[in-house]
Amino acid sequence: MTYEKTIMLVVLAVALVAFVREWVPMGLTALAAPLILVVTGVLEPANLWSKASDTTVIAVGAMFVIAGAVSRTGALGFLAAVFERQASRGHRRTLTFLMLIVAALSAVTNNTAVVLVFLPVVLGMCERIEHPPSRYLIPLSYASIFGGMTTLIGTSTNILVAEQGAKAVAHIDGGHSFNPGLWDFAPVGVAFVITGITYMVLVGHRLLPNRVALSMTLSRGTLRDYVTEAEILPGSSLAGHTLDDLKARLPGVRLLQMIRDGVLLVPRSDLKLRVADVLLVKGKAGELLDLSHEGYAALLSGIEPDDVETRAVDTTLAELIIPPRSRVIGRRIDRIGLRARHGISVVAVQRHGHHLRQKVGALVVEPADMLLVQGSVERLRSLRDSDDFILVEGIEHKPALRGRAPVALAGLGVFVLLAAGGWLDIATSAALVATGLVLARCLTLQEAFGSVDWGVLAVLFGSLALGDAVEQVGLASDAAEGMGALFNDLGPLAALAAFYIITTILTDTISNGAAAALMVPVVVRGAAWFEVSPEPFLMTVAFAASAAFLSPMGYQTNLLVYGPGGYRFRDFLVVGLPLRLAFWALAVVLVPIFHPF
């Protein structure tokens, strides 16, 4: 074991733990790891910084801008409207229609942008038909992942594998090449789409939880009510009585949520109250004071008698989701400026299906948190263009640049044509179209930079550097030889099956892009060891890296639906594990057929 290999293994191990434990943001970990390799002499500085101009990084960054233009102009809004008109025609039919539309869109544009478009639509539908969002949001995320697998530009993972795989294969004198086109992923990818949607409609939806979320408790329109928490006191006459009894005694108080031992419960009318239950209630200040003065409960947020006369401004309730790239992540709620800059109050926080009871202002914001906020309609509208919050409830949204939507769609079409025709490489095509969309005023230059998920690019940059270092120090060859020796008697098909499993485990742990970047040099060396084409191994890595079904952290779209659906970690595991096994079996069978050894 050489010095370089030892340092490389230590850095990889520490980075892996840092990714899992989330000591610091993933992007920072991905940047720190290769910097340590440079300081210790394992990686040359030139090799590290060359990754900043790598075609993969440029292509993915430019595609974020294209997706931003499509999103900001509302270019996909007409398909969301089509879905909304077809919704409410039976759960299975609605689910099928939703997943087909989302999968089709995700094949040609960034799937995170697609989910952001459909998230408020699905939440609004669930409120209208009184279905829990938890029955639809995991399928929404999964459908976007399925669709992204079908084309070269459907996901950054496919672009990474195509670009880095071509370079890795070119470095090995084996007489092989790897240059996948736009539709080379489609034969296996479409099989994944059909299998995934069929599974979710027939089986997966039965495994989804029926869990109440904030969006199911809100009413639209303006109001003059307060929202606060009330805890059932020892000796309260409400203890042991049902929620119907509470309604009969205090008809002016509306129950939004019920929290027992920190867990959200569906507020059924026959559910009996217990001491220490916490109720999220809405009503006039005087009515809420009656709840406290009668000895029924203790108000946990201060409402004074004088407030009855001082409330003068009409307000409404709304939900804010914290997206993965929000700048407020890691800051206390009372320091993110909602009250000071926008006059908006945070009255409750939901995190992973749990209602947080601590003092709201002291809570530290995490990705996918859902904030229940209260403020004037105009104040809330001001958050529509913020990249730090996703406003999903309570305010009708009409994109200000809807007139530029045809231009944005045309730009997307040009990008697809360039990618399909092969006249230009993906990076140049994406950069050209992104520049054109800015010049066409589909978004400003500042908005273009804001559309880029710099955290994703940081992970991509760092992961490419780590993958390069793994190859340079010889760890890729060592891993390939170990796999070859292990599966020598079983052949390359068994190695392919093992590579799929290893990649999916890494994907759930360190993100899809990082997993693909680390596995590309290993599988290329593995193909050389078996003396077969590297194409089936590389395609397997691409498909496996996108199959992030077991963890909300494995894929950005999973993280986006985590909070609004009121999900818990185990929900993804229960629904995603059968899907993971089915996709693994499909890959082992289909990849060698369409991409032979």
Of 36-50, 72-86, 213-227, the poorest mean pLDDT is in 213-227
In the block, which residue shows the tokens 């009255």? 347
Residue 295 pLDDT exceeds 70: no
pLDDT at position 244: 83
pLDDT at position 67: 85
pLDDT at position 227: 63
Nearest to 550 by CA among 67, 134, 138: 138
| Rounded mean pLDDT, 521-529 | 89
Of 170-174, 490-494, 588-592, the poorest mean pLDDT is in 170-174
The pLDDT mean for the chain works out to: 81
Quickly list H helices, 50-175. 55-72, 77-86, 91-106, 111-129, 137-148, 156-170
Residue 307 pLDDT exceeds 50: no
pLDDT tier for residue 18 given thresholds of 50, 70 and 90: confident
The domain defined by 220-393 folds into Alpha-Beta Plaits (3.30.70)
pLDDT at position 37: 92
Would you call 487 helix, strand, or coil by DSSP?
coil
- Would you give the end-to-end CA distance of the chain in angstroms? 32
Out of 168-172, 375-379, 425-429, 575-579, give the one with best mean pLDDT: 575-579
Q: Quote the tokens at residue 111.
A: 């799937």
Residue 582 pLDDT exceeds 90: yes
Long-range pairs, 421-424, Cβ under 8 A, ≥24: 422/181
Q: Quote the tokens at residue 119.
A: 């998230």
Would you call 261 helix, strand, or coil by DSSP?
coil
| Rounded mean pLDDT, 449-456 | 82
Out of 106-115, 136-145, 262-271, give the one with best mean pLDDT: 136-145
Our CA dihedral for 36, 42, 48, 54, rounded to 10 degrees, sits at -130
Sequence spans of domains, the chain: 3-211+409-594, 220-393
Which whole-number Å values give the CA distances from 547 to 61, 195, 303, 443, 557, in the listed order? Answer: 22, 13, 49, 32, 12
